[in-house]
Structure formats: C-alpha cells, structure tokens
A = this chain, B = another copy of it.
C-alpha cells in the first residue's frame, strides 16, 4: 500500500481546542492513522504525525492547513521556535511503496491549492524546492528570520513565495515539501549555561564537522538548570541514536554536565529502536524478531 507520512508543525502548543480540531481533520479522512500528537507549551508549537494513503494526502493536508489558519492568529502568537505561520511547515515523507518523486508531485499540487484557495503564501523546501537556496530549511526561516522579518521581506529576493499571494495575513506563511524520513530528538542537560549547550550542539552537528546526518541547536529551557540539545537525525541508519546520545554524554562530561533525560518528537522507526537496543545489550535481534502482539496480564 502506498503510504505517506505527514508531520505538520502548528504554531500553537497551548490551546487544546485547536489541536482537537486538527485531530478531527485526521479522523474524518478514510484510512488516515493519527500516530502521534504532541503539544509543546514552551515552544508554543504542536507536531501531529499521520500516516495517510497516498490518494488522501492532499485533502488531509489541505484541511489541516485550513483549520490551523482559521484558528491560530499569527498576529498575536509568540514562542521561541523559528516560525512562519499557523501551519508552520508541512513535510511529506514517502513510506514503504511510495517514491520521493510521488511525494514531490503531491507537495506541488498541495502548495498550489493552499496558495490559491486559502490565500496563504507557500514556500517549497527540501526535495520540492524550486531553487537550490530553498532546499535547506534554515535558508528560508531561522532564528533570526521569522514571521516578523518575513512581513516586510515578502515579495523580495529569496522571499517571493512559490505559490499564493505576496502578503502575510493572520495565518502567516507555510513551508511545504517532500523530505527524507527524520528523527527529531532532544537531549536535556543539567546546566543553566547555554554556552555549554551551544558548544555541544556545535560539536555533534554536520555543519561544524560533527555527525554527517545531524542538525542541532541548543535552547535554554524555562525549567531551572536545564539546557536542551535539539536535534534532527536525517539518516538514522548512518548516524544511529545510541551513538549520538553517547557522543552528547561524552561532550557534556567534559563540562561536568550530564544528560538528565531525552525525548523523541513524533515517531521512532522500529529498526532504530532495534539498533540501539542491540548496541547496549550486545545483541543481534532483527525487526522480524520483534513480537508486535503483547501477552495480556503477566
């Protein structure tokens, strides 16, 4: 069966009513499966993970972007994650029998429809980017360039939208694109020194000479004595989770700092789980050795 994973990020992590409406959109599409839904109060951002049959992808993605636009007002939204719009980003990821080419095609059709019918400016990124600059998300929106900057820049230079009007309304702008599967992973360290966090984030990320498939940033958390190393693992087969965790632990130790917990946003593929499990237990189980049927009460 041809399946596509949608992992839309919405700029509201506080109002459960809005998230319920978005989940309702998922439930109303035949055969779409809501895998995960996580609200982050501090970032004021929610991530919904859906697996959807290829034929319903455009309808579902469009409905969610519409719902978010009607219910999240970017004129008043605040939060410290780089953000562009009510639906900040709508990634499409090919699963199993779906090809990247099919996802690219779907994303273009979706972008066109969102721009035209909802009047939201759309920027295409990753494999759907129409210029090399837009391949990398950080070249479109980053910590220094968010919706506030976009309001005046829209329609100029790199900020001419691929679809939709050159105007930022209350729904903001939306970034759409087909991308590879990735694992969003955060490690929390027991320090209030963001400089230590930044050094560690730098040590492990591709951009600064670290793991070739890791992007990372450090964030100071409102919680006392906690710094977050926020990561995207863009190829967990080449850069397995355990290796990244152990590398962060080693770097942190050099500052007398330790991981206190870690978290995964969205889904973790079973094979990534098996891989780390095998590392720590020196075992060699394969996906086929994993029993999906649980025993009852034991």
Contacts and interface: CB of A to CB of B under 8 A. Distances in A.
B273 A277 contact: yes
> Number of contact residues on A: which range applies?
35 or more
Contact of A285 (B5, B268, B280): B268
Interface string A34-64: 0110000000000000010000000000000
A291 B267 contact: yes
Residue of A3, A264, A293 with highest tally of chain B CB at under 10 A? A293
Q: Which 9 pairs from chain A and chain B are nearest by CB?
A: A181-B295, A267-B291, A95-B293, A280-B280, A262-B283, A269-B291, A261-B282, A180-B298, A262-B282
Given A261-B284, A274-B273, A276-B280, A293 B96 contact: yes
B270 A283 contact: no
Contacts of A281: 241-242, 245, 262, 276
A294 B242 contact: no
11 contacts: A36-B288, A51-B293, A94-B296, A95-B293, A95-B294, A95-B295, A96-B295, A98-B296, A99-B296, A264-B285, A269-B291
A295 B51 contact: no
Contacts of A267: 289-291
Contacts of A85: none
B242 A280 contact: yes
Contacts of A280: 242, 245, 276, 280
Contacts of A260: 282
Nearest to A100: B296
Contacts of A204: none
B282 A295 contact: no
Given A96-B294, A263-B284, A288-B35, A270 B269 contact: no
A62 to B, nearest CB: 23
